[in-house]
Amino acid sequence: MLDIKLIRENPDKVNELLKRRDQNLNIDEIIKIDQDRRKIQNQADNLRKERNEISNQIGQMKKNGLDTSEIQAKTRTLGDNIKELEQEETRLIELQNRILLEIPNLPQENVPIGHDETCNVEVKLVGEVPKFDFEPKNHWDIGSDLGILDFERGVKISESRFVIYKNFGAKLERALTNFMLDVNTSRGYQEILPPFLVNSRTMTGTGQLPKFAEEMYKCAQDNLYLIPTAEVPLTNIYSDEILKESDLPLYMTAYTPCFRREAGSAGKDTRGLIRVHQFNKVELVKLCTPETSKEEHEKLTEDAKNILNLLELPYRIIELCTGDIGFGASKCYDLEVWMPGSGVYREISSCSNFTDFQARRANLKYRPNDTDKPQFVHTINGSSLAVGRTTAAILENYQQADGSVKIPKVLWPYLNDERVITR
């Protein structure tokens, strides 16, 4: 959520930055609502002050044996007027918040300007793309041939875009999860196992609600949502709390299953593990001070890259343009892994700096120097990594001519030193 004070004091700048995201915001409407709200609040405050002064007079008049019926009637009238103003103030606050909740974050000044993904900037290529003396297969064919992925029965027991991991497929997914968590905790992240169902307040805190309600799986009877990413519960752990500056930066990592309806992605990547409704992911989340957030964002991106480096998977780093960054992000890097079966790079991690956007929604603050006025923290997160997509990347990049798949050396200890997947 944007700071209304920022909009009030810098309307032209806010409008300029939002236009870089192809957002045409009616700044004048927002400012008018804010002016009306503050005017009514001031009127109500003045009437409360007047009522308090009259109440003091009533007390004194009663002590002196004077008739207070007329002045008490005036107090009742003031009370009715205050109540009307409070109701109107509440209405305007709710209206203002509804509008603010729909406005995306402001991009940082150095984010590339562009309308869509075609304007994203390739920052760096890492690793060598494998060369095969045979026609490389897609991971869904490799997994089916090896008997480790079962897409047909996944559809049978659920619906399309669900998959069953079997035998070595299940072992590989579990090994990758444990490997990622071990690496992350060795780099200073606290491991968390959060709930997989959260309330609407929590989903609103990280920006999934209200804008992306149709993308979420909701348990209507309990008014709970299946999480689309561990970012949601992790970021909200300290909502409505005030942390000490000495607690920051706070690093957290978590494995969770993730659930996404993908309502707006009809026809996109419908085969394989790239875009499914349920998938496993290891997440990185940081809470930090505004002064360190840019540095911490770069460091978190390095932590996500480290997993790909250890797995020796070729990838590229993409800086997203203003028209492609996520709703709550102010700056974002995507890590895209090479997929030989389709001959393209696919996103496997998205590392974003949200500045104070999520913290305002979740009311997540810290107190500088333990004595100053509380301020909103900055939140940063990224995938480390999407486990299913990592499984897919290993199957495609490490495939062999005989149909087997080699295992990256770093995973051997997690698989009882098994080094090859065979039928």
Residue 39 CB contacts under 8 Å (≥ 6 apart), including other chains: none
Q: How many CB atoms lie within 10 A of CB 194?
A: 19
d(CA 87, CA 22): 35
Contact 254, 184 (CB under 8 A): no
CATH classification number, 4-101, choose in 1.10.240.10, 3.40.50.11540, 1.10.287.40, 3.90.640.10: 1.10.287.40
For tokens 């008739």, name the residue. Answer: 67
Contact 319, 335 (CB under 8 A): no
d(CA 45, CA 48): 5
Contact 203, 225 (CB under 8 A): yes
Q: Cα dist. 57→47, 66, 87, 212, 295 in Å?
A: 15, 11, 28, 55, 60
d(CA 390, CA 414): 15
Contact 252, 192 (CB under 8 A): yes
**Count of alpha carbons within 13 angstroms of residue 370, beta-carbon side:** 2
Task: pLDDT band for 267, please (50, 70, 90 cuts).
Answer: low
Task: pLDDT band for 265, please (50, 70, 90 cuts).
Answer: low
Whole-number pLDDT of residue 60? 86
**For 148-171, what is the mean pLDDT?**
97
Whole-number pLDDT of residue 371? 78
* Residue 419 burial class via C-beta count within 10 angstroms: exposed 0-12, middle 13-18, buried 19 and up: exposed
d(CA 77, CA 221): 44
Whole-number pLDDT of residue 170? 98
Whole-number pLDDT of residue 78? 93
| Residue 66 vs residue 420, higher pLDDT | 420
**For 131-147, what is the mean pLDDT?**
97
Whole-number pLDDT of residue 264? 60
pLDDT at position 19 over 90: yes
- Closest alpha carbon to 229 in 196, 205, 184, 199: 196
Task: pLDDT band for 269, please (50, 70, 90 cuts).
Answer: low
**The domain over range 117-421 is classified in CATH as 3.30.930.10:** yes
Instruction: Give the three-class secondary structure for 266.
Output: coil
Question: Per this entry, what is the length of the chain?
Answer: 423
* Residue 401 burial class via C-beta count within 10 angstroms: exposed 0-12, middle 13-18, buried 19 and up: exposed
Q: Cα dist. 263→39, 120, 266, 395, 403 in Å?
A: 42, 24, 7, 28, 35
Per the confidence metrics, is the pTM higher than 0.85? yes
Beta bridge partners of 283: 254, 383
Whole-number pLDDT of residue 268? 65
Give 50-100 pLDDT, tens digit per residue. 999 998 898 888 888 888 888 889 889 999 999 999 999 999 999 999 999
Contact 79, 51 (CB under 8 A): yes
At 134, list the tokens: 């045979």
**For 415-423, what is the mean pLDDT?**
95
d(CA 235, CA 233): 6
Q: State the amino acid at position 174 in one-letter form.
A: R
Whole-number pLDDT of residue 174? 98
d(CA 219, CA 8): 39
pLDDT at position 415 over 90: yes
Cite the active site residues: 260, 275, 347, 350, 389
Domain with CATH 3.30.930.10 in the chain: 117-421
Give 279-332 pLDDT, tens digit per residue. 999 999 999 999 999 999 999 999 999 999 999 999 999 999 999 999 999 999
Q: Which helix (H) or strand (E) holds 237?
A: none
Write the DSSP symbol of residue 208: -
Whole-number pLDDT of residue 423? 87
* Helix, strand, coil percentages, rounded to 5, for the chain: 45, 20, 35
* Residue 305 burial class via C-beta count within 10 angstroms: exposed 0-12, middle 13-18, buried 19 and up: buried
Give 331-390 pLDDT, tens digit per residue. 999 999 999 999 999 999 999 999 999 999 999 999 998 778 999 999 999 999 999 999
pLDDT at position 123 over 90: yes
Give 181-233 pLDDT, tens digit per residue. 999 999 999 999 999 999 999 999 999 999 999 999 999 999 999 999 999 99
Q: How far does the chain reach from its first CA to its final CA, in angstroms? A: 52
| Cis, peptide link before residue 194, omega less than 30° from 0 | no
Domain with CATH 1.10.287.40 in the chain: 4-101
Contact 148, 421 (CB under 8 A): yes
Q: Which helix (H) or strand (E) holds 344?
A: strand 344-353
Residue 243 CB contacts under 8 Å (≥ 6 apart), including other chains: 250, 287, 364, 365, 366, 367, 377
